[in-house]
């Protein structure tokens, strides 16, 4: 029955179990899957696939743990759970990480858009291939000014979240293109090296960071849970198992198809491996850029709202009040239009200025995964449950949570120690891989140089360095 005002009953506005699962899949599957072949290269093909299963299982457990924390604290939002468990310190730590994650994601989006669209432009205007650095910078500048800023200045950004279905559709089409190129044998000329099918490598920690970034969805956990009909822990566990399982399947297919095609030559952005004259993959590059641009303003909006909230609290000198149900991605953003515009422009241009310092997606994915995604996904949910649960630390209920915290802490600290000294190296993009034979693109001897490099340099130098 309808209400007296003619609106639908609450039950009709909530999601069924399949609908909630689809919404959750939308929030998990995103741009991070493009780096899974590179993660398999870093960890080794066999061990990498095993790690992908482990990361999916741990993610599944942490998502269930978060909702348990919500029931224990009575606060069904991530900030509310952390405030209930650790007070102001927990809230501010979460705020810092929640800012870092989308901000680093925006930097990675600039890197991806610059890399992908520059290849398409050079395909259309081959003479531009002699100055790829300038083309790449120009692409990011134009997209930032004419696409990103107008979208990010949109007042009610929550409407853009509905574009997540289109973004997911783009990812699925890219996956189909990657699988087709593998089955067609068009890249059978990619050379094998001693590193190609090695079961395990030593770079486990960076690989875990990339995988954690691909599965990161914890900021949407309570939003999906509260949208469910008859929301119970049992139904939530089913939704989580279905969603994470499907996301794992997509990530595994990307990883296996991409790695089997390029093996030890797999790069942080898989689309970088495909030849510039491959029109099917150029179409995939355009789709990927569309997917990125649909996601960019949502990430910017979350960062902006966190900055605005902290600035208001700093200048008001008032006691910190916590909204237990509010989520930054669903605020209308209609207050303080001038301050909102200034904050948005500062964040967008900061990401734009920082992005040219690295031309490779792999290090950015590793950094975001290790310093933001893993603490948000594993460390903080485990710590919150340990604090809120009445059981003893060594009880059967708390030991898995303690293991989750230990795993996340070890990976974050060791990964930061490994990654930071090598973050800004001599990694380069905008080169033609040696197996690409189109003479029209061999500008200034580039193709012959890369072909020589691919045959004389160690395989890790082809992917990580040039």
Cβ contacts of residue 163 below 8 Å, gap of 6+?
Answer: 294
Within-domain flag for 433: no
Task: Give φ, ψ of 233 to 5 degrees.
Answer: -65, -35
Identify whether 329 is part of a domain. no
Residue 411 lies in a domain: yes
Rounded distance between C-alpha atoms, residue 15 and residue 414, angstroms: 41
Shortest CA distance to 43 belongs to which of 209, 178, 254?
A: 209
Examine residue 285 and state whether it is found in any structural domain, yes or no: yes
User: In b/e form, how buried is each residue of 375-411, taking b as 16+ CB within 10 angstroms?
Assistant: bbbbbbbbbbbbbbbeeeeeeeebeebbebbebbbeb
- Residue 405 · residue 386 · CB < 8 Å: yes
Mind listing the pLDDT tens digit for each residue in 153-211? 876 555 565 666 788 889 899 999 999 999 999 998 898 888 888 899 988 998 999 99
Q: Is residue 336 part of a domain?
A: no
Q: Are 266 and 460 in contact (CB under 8 A)?
A: no
Question: Does residue 276 form part of some domain?
Answer: yes
Residues 6+ apart with CB under 8 A from 269: 34, 35, 38, 111, 112, 115, 116, 360, 361, 362, 429
Rounded to two decimals, what is the model's pTM? 0.81
Residue 93 belongs to domain with CATH number? 1.20.1740.10
The 8-class DSSP code of residue 395 comes to: S
Please tell me the distance from the alpha carbon of residue 351 to that of residue 363, in angstroms, as a whole number.
15
Tokens 């950094």 locate to 367
Task: Please state, in angstroms and rounded to a whole number, the distance separating the CA atoms of residues 94 and 298.
Answer: 18
Mean pLDDT computed over 140-158: 83
Position 3 in a domain: no
Q: State the residue range of the domain holding 249.
A: 17-319+343-425
Q: What is the pLDDT of residue 459?
A: 39
Separation between Cα atoms, residue 418 and residue 95, nearest integer Å: 25
Of the candidate ranges 76-90, 229-243, 362-376, 437-451, the one whose mean pLDDT is the lowest: 437-451
Q: In 164-232, where does DSSP find H-type helix? A: 164-184, 204-215, 221-226
Task: Over range 201-223, report the average pLDDT.
Answer: 89
pLDDT of residue 230: 85
Residue 450 banded pLDDT, cuts 50, 70, 90: very low
pLDDT in tens, 282-301: 999 999 998 888 888 878 88
Token digits of residue 134? 């300038």
CA 236/CA 406 separation, integer angstroms: 25
Check whether 111 has a pLDDT greater than 90.
no
Number of other CB atoms surrounding residue 20 within 10 Å: 24
Helix (H, G, I), strand (E, B) or coil at 15: strand
Domain assignment present for 303: yes
Q: Based on the structure, what is the number of domains in the chain?
A: 1
């Amino acid at each position: 029955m309808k209400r007296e005002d003619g609106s639908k009953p609450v039950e009709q506005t909530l999601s069924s179990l399949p609908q909630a699962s689809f919404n959750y899949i939308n929030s998990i599957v995103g741009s991070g899957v493009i780096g899974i072949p590179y993660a398999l290269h870093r960890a080794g093909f066999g061990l990498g696939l095993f790690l992908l299963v482990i990361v999916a299982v741990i993610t599944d457990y942490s998502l269930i743990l978060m909702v348990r924390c919500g029931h224990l604290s009575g606060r069904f939002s991530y900030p509310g759970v952390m405030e209930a468990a650790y007070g102001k310190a927990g809230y501010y730590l979460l705020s810092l990480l929640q800012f870092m994650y989308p901000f680093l994601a925006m930097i990675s989006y600039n890197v991806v858009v610059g890399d992908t669209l520059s290849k398409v432009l050079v395909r259309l205007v081959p003479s531009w291939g002699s100055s790829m650095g300038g083309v790449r910078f120009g692409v990011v500048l134009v997209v930032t000014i004419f696409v990103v800023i107008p979208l990010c200045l949109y007042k009610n950004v929550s409407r853009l979240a509905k574009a997540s279905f289109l973004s997911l559709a783009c990812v699925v089409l890219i996956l189909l293109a990657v699988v087709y190129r593998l089955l067609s044998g068009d890249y059978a000329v990619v050379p094998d090296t001693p590193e190609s099918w090695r079961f395990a490598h030593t770079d486990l920690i960076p690989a875990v960071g990339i995988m954690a970034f691909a599965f990161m969805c914890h900021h949407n956990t309570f939003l999906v849970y509260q949208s469910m009909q008859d929301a119970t822990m049992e139904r939530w566990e089913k939704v989580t198992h279905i969603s994470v399982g499907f996301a794992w399947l997509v990530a595994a297919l990307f990883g296996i198809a991409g790695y089997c095609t390029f093996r030890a030559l797999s790069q942080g952005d898989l689309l970088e491996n495909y030849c510039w004259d491959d029109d099917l993959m150029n179409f995939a590059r355009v789709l990927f850029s569309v997917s990125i641009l649909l996601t960019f303003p949502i990430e910017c909006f979350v960062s902006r709202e966190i900055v605005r909230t902290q600035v208001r609290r700093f200048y008001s000198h008032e006691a910190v009040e916590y909204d237990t149900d509010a989520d930054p991605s669903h605020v209308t953003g209609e207050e303080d239009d001038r301050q909102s515009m200034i904050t948005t422009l500062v964040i967008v241009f900061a990401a734009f200025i920082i992005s040219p310092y690295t031309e490779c997606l792999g290090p950015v994915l590793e950094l975001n995964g290790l310093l933001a995604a893993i603490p948000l996904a594993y460390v903080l949910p485990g710590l919150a449950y340990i604090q809120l649960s009445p059981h003893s630390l060594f009880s059967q209920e708390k030991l898995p949570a303690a293991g989750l915290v230990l795993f996340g802490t070890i990976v974050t600290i060791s990964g930061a120690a490994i990654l930071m000294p090598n973050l800004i190296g001599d990694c380069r993009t905008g080169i033609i891989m040696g197996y690409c034979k189109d003479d029209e693109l061999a500008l200034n001897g580039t193709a012959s140089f890369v072909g020589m490099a691919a045959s004389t340099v160690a395989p890790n130098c082809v992917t990580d360095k040039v």
